[in-house]
Structure 1
Amino acid sequence: MGSDANATLTKKGHSCVRLEKAGRTLVIDPGGFSEPDAALGADALLVTHEHADHFDELRLRAAMEDNPAAEIWTLRSVAEQISGAFPGRVHTVGEGDTFEAAGFEVEVHGQLHAVIHPDIPRITNVGYVVDGTVFHPGDALTVPARPVHTLLLPMHAPWNKFSEVLDYVRAVAPEQVYDIHDGLLNDNGLGVLGRMLGEGGPGTGGAVHTHLPPGESVVPGR
């Protein structure tokens, strides 16, 4: 990754990932579909938006209590729900902000959740570029105004379809794609979508697509 090629990314359930380098851990979106201990041991936590599959207050509280030095960076709608319990340790961010969390350089991109249906009001959503290399968009198809090596791709949701997913990969133009937001897919769905994003599909513009099962780790950029 940008400042440390030895950083490791571990896929957790659904949209949660853990990034580790130099003995410190950053966790993104430990929600209700991720493992109960997905956030434990974190030095820093990032949350993209308030939906329960990305923001689980009990998981965040457990991590914050487990590590009294841990801090959270998130958008206002989430910060308002948890900042009172951890004064001074919850930071509100928005598009264009940059900050350091647990030794990682983080940029904030995006403003709104993808449209689920016109009758459902849109909520806010932000994505995070970590160390200039890995982009987690949350629940949006935000194209960051900068190149990224590794895209964490929302594979399946009530707000997307395959043509949008493929066009999003092409628009971001990463070198590597790893699935997130896959907690509603069974093996059949993963297989079909994986083929469509691989050699059996219309082409990702050169990005290499890989599905990581929960618990598997990789070193982005290698």
Structure 2
Amino acid sequence: METTLTFWGHACVQLERTGRTVVIDPGSFSDRTPLASADAVLVTHEHADHVVTGELVDALRNRSHLEVWAPAGVISTLVAAGAPGERVHTVSAGDRFVAAGFDVAATGEVHALIHADVPRVANVAYVIDGAILHPGDSFTGPGAGESIRVLLAPVAAPWLAVGEVIDFVRTVGPELVIPIHSAVLSEVGNALVDRLVGGMGHAPYRRLAVGETITVP
């Protein structure tokens, strides 16, 4: 069964199948339009470019069936802001669950190191249907035995170097790399990253425009 993947800017993607949708990391640097139709939201970690607390709480209030999965710190913040506790779920490495009909496996535990003076927060990577990997702000790979079709690879952040991205892509070995997490780059910077990661990652590579959709078998 095919899944439709839509890129909404920075780290935010939407997955749709049989009329049900999952949105991952609708943060402040992305277009949060898909929140209005989401059946489930997955949040990798608490940074604002991955989750906007007030807007996510509003979406929970407006959509009575919407459910959210996220690390404990995010869940605590949502509940304190008025989110219904029965529809927000704490996730940690090793958890498996079904979100809007999608099988989800959580892996990884912490955000990549920015600097020794910057506290590291919890970060959960998500593997969707054993085929699509969103690592959040980390280079967390899939679990044993999982063959990734689409890797959503972060390519620009204070915590990464492009060489690390290239090695991450090579290690995961996906069928397709879609670059994410590049809102801080200029057009020239994006072109440079595309040339390096796309040319040296040893995997097909495709940058999506905001709102652009692809189909994942």
* TM-score under structure 1 length normalisation: 0.92
- Where does structure 2 lack aligned partners over 5 or more consecutive residues? none
Q: Does 1:204 align with 2:201?
A: yes
Q: What amino acid sits opposite 1:192 in the alignment?
A: L
SS in 2 for 1:15: coil
Tell me the CA shift for residue 180 of structure 1: 1.0
SS in 2 for 1:48: coil
Distance 1:119 1:87 in 2: 33
Tell me the CA shift for residue 25 of structure 1: 0.6
Tell me the CA shift for residue 37 of structure 1: 2.2
Distance 1:162 1:101 in 2: 32
Please list every run of at least 4 consecutive aligned residues from structure 1 whose deviation after the TM superposition is greater than 2 angstroms. Answer: none
Alignment correspondent of 2:33: 37
Corresponding residue pairs, total: 213
Distance 2:186 2:135 in 1: 22
SS in 1 for 2:94: coil
Alignment correspondent of 1:152: 152
Alpha-carbon contact 1:114-1:141 (below 8 Å) kept: yes
Alpha-carbon contact 1:30-1:59 (below 8 Å) kept: no
Alignment correspondent of 1:172: 172
* TM-score under structure 2 length normalisation: 0.94
Tell me the CA shift for residue 144 of structure 1: 1.6
After superposition, residues 62-77 of structure 1 pair within 5 angstroms as: 62-77=58-73
Alignment correspondent of 1:28: 24
In the TM superposition, what whole-angstrom CA distance separates every residue of 1:14-72 from its partner, at most 9, and x where no partner exists?
10000000000100000111124242210000000000000111221232123111000
Distance 2:161 2:83 in 1: 38
Question: What's the Cα RMSD here?
Answer: 1.2
After superposition, residues 61-210 of structure 1 pair within 5 angstroms as: 61-83=57-79, 84-145=82-143, 146-198=146-198, 201=199, 203-205=200-202, 207-210=203-206
Change in Cα spacing, 1:36 to 1:17, as seen in structure 2 (3 Å) is: closer
Distance 2:182 2:83 in 1: 31
Distance 1:56 1:156 in 2: 20
- Where does structure 1 lack aligned partners over 5 or more consecutive residues? none
Q: What amino acid sits opposite 1:142 in the alignment?
A: T
Structure with bigger helix share is 2
Distance 2:94 2:180 in 1: 23
Tell me the CA shift for residue 197 of structure 1: 2.2
Alpha-carbon contact 1:25-1:42 (below 8 Å) kept: yes
Q: What amino acid sits opposite 2:127 in the alignment?
A: V
SS in 2 for 1:210: coil
Alpha-carbon contact 2:162-2:197 (below 8 Å) kept: no
Distance 1:72 1:61 in 2: 10
Distance 1:36 1:7 in 2: 20
Tell me the CA shift for residue 133 of structure 1: 0.8
